Amino acid sequence: MNKIMSALKTGFVIALASALFAFAAQTPRAMAEDSIGSASPEPSRREITLKVMTINLRHHADLWEERFPLIADEIVRLDPDIIGLQEVSIGMDQTAVLLSLIKQKSGGEQGKTYNKYERLKTGFEAVSGEGISIYSRFPIVEKNFTDLKNGRVVVFTRINVADGLDVDMYNTHLHHMGGDETRLPQAKKIVAFEKRNSAGNIVFLTGDMNAKPESETIAAFTGAGFEDTYVLAHGETAEDTGKTSSIRLEKGRDAADQNPKSRIDYVFVKQPDSGPAVKTIDSVVCFRNHNEEGLYPSDHLGVMTTFLISY
């Protein structure tokens, strides 16, 4: 009997040792497999909504002191984050007037404020005091411009819209005469200027291009990676619904009945190869508001595009 019990104990010890050895052999592998399966996920991406607008102000012509409150009304209503403005009478400090109206109409001392960067036209046309501007509700951390010839410029700002997120904003007003022969070289200068400034950010380009979508001028932008955001939002209906020019600036019974013929005002976006991602949410033709006498804010309608940025 003692021999039997001794044999059983010996067998149990051998079996237990074998089991422990097998478990020890499997544990490192299991731990490695668990480690692979539970690798730390990438940090979650943040999202921000950004509204980018373009509007031609028609400088100091055609009852501008009556029109500017209407421009301010629409900016307050739509609440854009970044605005590209053309035909600004810098010599008359129209920016100060417009920003004061915006602040007043959006809450007085607690109202909306914008940082700005603006440049006069070049050459002989600088005598007019007219130029173009960028307004930004966020800090402008870098700014520059380049001469496009024929009196025209493009302005550039790098804007810090959030911690860890800068965007690049360009605004221009291409020449109103000469067709593609004049405007295509200007567009190519803008494309080259953007490439020189590139830092891998999302890029916006706004402006009165004085060029229709089928032109070589617009093809120079789209061929360089810029996307027409009104088309992104509206597809085949864009050419019917997106016309912005021209608007008659007059008063009277029929003044409010407008029928713009051309789509020449744009908000473009260029997606970087890596990093933040941008999606067009919506794009609207704006500044259709008018006063009781039918006077419109400007001789152009504007465009505002809403973007969702993931970074």
User: What are the per-10-residue average pLDDT scores of the chain (311 residues)?
Assistant: 42 43 42 42 85 98 98 98 99 97 97 98 96 98 98 98 98 98 98 98 99 98 98 97 98 95 98 97 98 98 99 98
Write down the pTM of the prediction.
0.87
Predicted confidence at residue 205, as pLDDT, reads: 99
Predicted confidence at residue 42, as pLDDT, reads: 57
Predicted confidence at residue 309, as pLDDT, reads: 98
Report the 3 state secondary structure along the chain: CHHHHHHHHHHHHHHHHHHHHHHHHHHHHHHHHHHHHCCCCCCCCCEEEEEEEEEECCCCCCCHHHHHHHHHHHHHHHCCCEEEEEEEEHHHCHHHHHHHHHHHHCCHHHCCCCEEEEEECCHHHHHHCEEEEEEECCCEEEEEEEEEECCEEEEEEEEEEECCEEEEEEEEECCCCCHHHHHHHHHHHHHHHHHHHCCCCEEEEEEECCCCCCCHHHHHHHCCCCEEHHHHHHHHHHHHHCCCECCCCCCCCCCCCCCCCECCEEEEEECCCCCCEEEEEEEEEECCCCCCCCCCCCCECEEEEEEEEEC
Residue spans per domain, the chain? 1-40, 47-310
Predicted confidence at residue 41, as pLDDT, reads: 53
* Residue range 47-310, CATH number: 3.60.10.10
Predicted confidence at residue 14, as pLDDT, reads: 40
